[in-house]
Structure 1
Amino acid sequence: MGTHCCGHQEQNIGDDPREQAIYRRVLWAVLTINAVMFIVEIGAGLMSGSVSLLADALDFFGDAANYAISLIVVGMALSYRARAALIKGATMALFGVWVLGITLWHILEGTLPGAMTMGGIGMTALIANALSFWLLWRHRDGDANMRSAWICTRNDVLGNLAVLLAALGVFSTGTGWPDIAVAIIIAALALQGATIIIRQAIAELRAKDNFAEISAS
């Protein structure tokens, strides 16, 4: 991304002990929120036959795992945080591919999801992710590791809004196509977010290597 995202001042946020403590508390909060919502959504998705809810549930699981990784590397050198961001970016990309695969399976099966369950759980998930989004807002312009946590939550908010639209579409049309469309949107968000995170992490690693070469010469 641009220099604003990769600026020197923003990257050093993770080196401030006070900021580290604040960020850890935020990560624990959003980790708990995402773990609980994964359990709720996976059950609702299986019960209702909604591929968009299942996709969103797996997204909650992936986010919880990513926040756990972020907690581990907070306070470590930038190179470790950048490598952790690379892992998270790759995870998001795999998630996007998985969603596309399960969406194709539901197309072939002609699944008709439960619109009421989709709407109710989608609203609950939106509230949970809006809270996470608010908690992570101040850290959105940090290093690749911090930025990846915010991008995950941003994608979740957009995905939840899409799930609500899908529920309305399923209810109105009596078909599963709105659910399929939203699942594809969620997959696209995951792949786009993964691209942003991986690019910034690679840029940070290259900048560190260049700095090391200059210092050694």
Structure 2
Amino acid sequence: MSACCDEDDAHIAELRERQTRMLWAVLAINASMFLVEFTAGWLAASNALMGDSLDMLGDTLVYGLSLFVVARSDRWKAVSAGFKGTIMLGFGLLVLGDAVAKAWSGDTPQYGIMAAVGLLALLANTLCLVLLTRHRGDDVNMRSAWVCSRNDLVANSGVLVAAALVAGTGSRWPDVIVGAAIAALFLRSAIGVLGQARLTLTGAGPPRRVSRS
């Protein structure tokens, strides 16, 4: 029995080490892309690109929290997931408010900058999703981090679609609509993550699964 326990402890320690290395990698990618997208969104007057940059900032905070709780209890991980859900909710409301403001008055964004930076963000987030996918079933902490990364791909694709439509129509409306859609995605995901965190905290959620792959 003791040997079996030692083997399990060694496996869990190895798993936590892999999770930590992966989370540092995706944190660095998202922090770098936030700076790039925020600057580009400001220069291009793009609501969709600014929304995507705030998502990058939110993810940077999310992965930082995930690193903090990676070796802690399920309760800590559920609290972290709940905080992530709150961040997602806040950014969703912020982007939605910006979309409403630009619907009333705003300049047509520069679609060339939108397309170039949106494509770069898509490639960066695809790499992050690949890194996170292996660990998405480990626990609520890693699952919520994976959800954030999956949402990024949808948001990045939306920026590229908006850029193409702005180029084709000469109107700011595609940018406004995509920005609002990104906000709706954030809000929906935030509700899901908060619900999963609540279930884990109350003991109604599924037990933690430790992968042996």
TM-score between both structures, scaled by the size of structure 2? 0.89
Q: 1:190 to 1:58 in 2, by over 3 A?
A: same
**Partners in 1 of 2:168 and 2:146 — Cα distance?**
33
Q: Report percent identity of matched pairs.
A: 42
Secondary structure in 2 matching 1:16:
helix
Whether 1:37 and 2:33 are equivalent positions in the alignment is yes
Whether 1:65 and 2:61 are equivalent positions in the alignment is yes
- Following TM superposition, the consecutive aligned residue runs of length 4 or more in structure 1 with deviations greater than 4 angstroms are none
Q: CA deviation at 1:208?
A: 7.5
Return the letter of the residue paired with 1:94: G
Pick aligned residue for 1:177 from 150, 157, 173: 173
Q: CA deviation at 1:142?
A: 3.0
- Alignment-derived partner of residue 211 in structure 2: none
> Per-residue displacement from partner, 1:35-72 (whole Å, max 9, x unpaired)?
00000000000000000000000000000011000000
Pick aligned residue for 2:184 from 184, 188, 196: 188
**Partners in 2 of 1:200 and 1:18 — Cα distance?**
26
Q: CA deviation at 1:181?
A: 1.1
For the Cα contact (< 8 Å) 1:79–1:208, is it kept in 2? no
- Alignment-derived partner of residue 14 in structure 2: 18
Secondary structure in 1 matching 2:17:
helix
Q: Which stretch shows the higher mean deviation, 163-172 or 182-191?
A: 182-191
Secondary structure in 2 matching 1:132:
helix
> Per-residue displacement from partner, 1:172-215 (whole Å, max 9, x unpaired)?
00001111111111111111111111111111111189x9xxxx
Pick aligned residue for 1:167 from 163, 170, 175: 163
- Cα RMSD (Å): 1.7
Alignment of 1:1-217 (within 5 A): 16-207=12-203
Gap runs ≥5 in structure 1? 1-11, 212-217
**Partners in 2 of 1:199 and 1:208 — Cα distance?**
11
Q: CA deviation at 1:105?
A: 1.2
Secondary structure in 1 matching 2:78:
helix
Gap runs ≥5 in structure 2? 1-7, 208-213
TM-score between both structures, scaled by the size of structure 1? 0.87
Q: CA deviation at 1:111?
A: 2.1
Return the letter of the residue paired with 2:60: A
